[in-house]
Amino acid sequence: MTAVDPHPPLRRPWRSAGAVFGGLLAVFVLSLGTDEILHLLQLYPTWGQRMSDPLFALATAYRIVFNVAGGYIAARLAPSAPLRHAMALGIVGRGVLRRQAGARSDVVPGRASGRGCALRLARRNNRDPEELVTPTVASRRVSTSASVNDDIAPTRRVLGKGGSL
């Protein structure tokens, strides 16, 4: 027979919210602080001007590290279930990123969404965007124009001889 704990652990919603907020605050402070330092060092252009692709890659690299650090902070501050708090931070951060990307589409056009990135790659390579995002749709489209018995050739035409994009 197992003993039942007469005093179950207390739920602490404010402490949980504080843990997620603390991780989010750390990510904001680190990201914006690094951005400001790079602007002051004139590595980045002035605020409001579009950056080049290598500078966006640099910003993405250090922001990934800062987001991991924010998840660690949220997990350490969590009263229980640290992974759940780190995941909550990721969900909240994604929502903030979507809102920010929509508000600043003139400076960062489509950079925040995977779909925007795929469309840019497709345009750069003069390919159909559907083909890049969903190769099966493109292979079905090609197979409808080919003969019914020719199942392998349409896939090779879309994907190439090696079978990969």
Question: What is the structure's pLDDT at 61?
Answer: 93
- Give pLDDT < 50 ranges for the chain: 107, 109-112, 138, 143, 146-151, 153-158
> Are the C-beta atoms of residues 165 and 132 closer than 8 Å to each other?
yes
Do 39 and 108 fall within a single domain? yes
Do 28 and 68 fall within a single domain? yes
**Is 155 part of a structural domain of the chain?**
yes
**Is 74 part of a structural domain of the chain?**
yes
Sign of CA dihedral 65, 66, 70, 76: positive
> Are the C-beta atoms of residues 138 and 146 closer than 8 Å to each other?
no
Question: What is the structure's pLDDT at 110?
Answer: 45
**Is 106 part of a structural domain of the chain?**
yes
What is the CA angle 45-51-57, rounded to 5? 120
**Is 31 part of a structural domain of the chain?**
yes
Range of the domain at 137: 118-159
Do 122 and 104 fall within a single domain? no
Domain count along the chain: 2
Report the run of H or E that residue 102 belongs to, with start and end.
helix 82-103
**Is 58 part of a structural domain of the chain?**
yes
**Is 136 part of a structural domain of the chain?**
yes
Do 22 and 97 fall within a single domain? yes
Question: What is the structure's pLDDT at 74?
Answer: 93
pTM summary value = 0.56
Helix, strand, or coil (residue 12): coil
Q: What is the four-CA torsion angle of 59, 60, 64, 66, rounded to 10 degrees?
A: 20
Question: What is the structure's pLDDT at 130?
Answer: 60
Do 41 and 76 fall within a single domain? yes
The distance from CA 65 to its chain's CA centroid, rounded to whole angstroms, is 13
Do 20 and 94 fall within a single domain? yes
Q: pLDDT digit string (tens) for 25-53?
A: 999 999 999 999 999 999 999 888 888 88
Do 142 and 96 fall within a single domain? no
